[in-house]
Amino acid sequence: MMWAGMDSNVVGRWPIFCFDGFGGHYTGMARQAPVSLQKLIEPAIAALGYELVGTEYLPQGKHSLLRIYIDTPDGIKVEDCERVSHQVSGLLDVEEPIQGQYTLEVSSPGLDRPLFKIEHFDRFAGQQIKVRLKLPLIGQGNGQRNFTGKLLGTRDGVVLMQVETTEKGGEAMQELALPLEKIEMARLVPAFDV
């Protein structure tokens, strides 16, 4: 990762602008890996029989992290993660899309599954989700950035969710329309029977 206009030996505040080192642009989620990297690894993962749920790239100098989430209808075991890690690691070693050192992590989505693609928001409609926006929502969200509520699905590339609000007369439900490109992170909220 190269920071625009900064010497690599300078320590200080993070700059506002950065070059991602991939020659691509970040998509939907702020931490989601560039599309070019996803397009490189997705065929290899699919050839092994897994769905690429999503990727996260956390650039942190020598401690950068590439996290890949995979899934199958039958779930994911440790052996599945090992298999995908071995295949993707070899591919990344040959293609070298990431400059510098990084850690590759392959994982199942887990109970608090991250939602990356618009299709995910439709697939899990009706479930509880947590959403963090890149910037506070002015107007319909009272300047909030974090929301928990019921996922209603999508319409025209916009994520719809229902949240509780407190008004003068008590609690009420409010429907929010959140453009996918404004969402930094979204995850399912696991439901446990007690």
DSSP β-ladder status, 183-188 and 170-179 = unpaired
SS3 165: strand
First to last CA, the chain: 46
Report how far residue 22's alpha carbon sits from residue 19's, in angstroms, rounded to the nearest whole number: 8
Residue with tokens 């329309």: 177
- Helix then strand then coil, in percent of the chain rounded to 5, is 20, 40, 40
Task: Answer whether 32's CB lies under 8 Å from 41's CB.
Answer: no
Walk along the chain (194 residues) and give the pLDDT tens digit of each residue.
232 333 333 333 332 222 233 333 333 344 778 888 999 999 999 999 999 999 998 888 778 899 999 999 999 999 999 999 999 999 999 998 888 888 999 999 999 999 999 999 999 999 999 999 999 987 766 788 999 999 999 999 899 999 987 766 667 888 999 999 999 999 999 988 76
Best CA proximity match to 110, nearest among 29, 48, 54: 54
Residue with tokens 């942190």: 60
Q: What is the pLDDT of residue 147?
A: 94
Report how far residue 128's alpha carbon sits from residue 126's, in angstroms, rounded to the nearest whole number: 7
Kindly state the DSSP code that residue 61 receives in the 8-state scheme: G
Task: Answer whether 46's CB lies under 8 Å from 67's CB.
Answer: no
Q: What is the pLDDT of residue 184?
A: 92
What domains are there in the chain, each with its CATH number? Answer: 23-107 (3.30.300.70), 118-167+174-188 (2.30.30.100)
Q: What is the pLDDT of residue 10?
A: 34
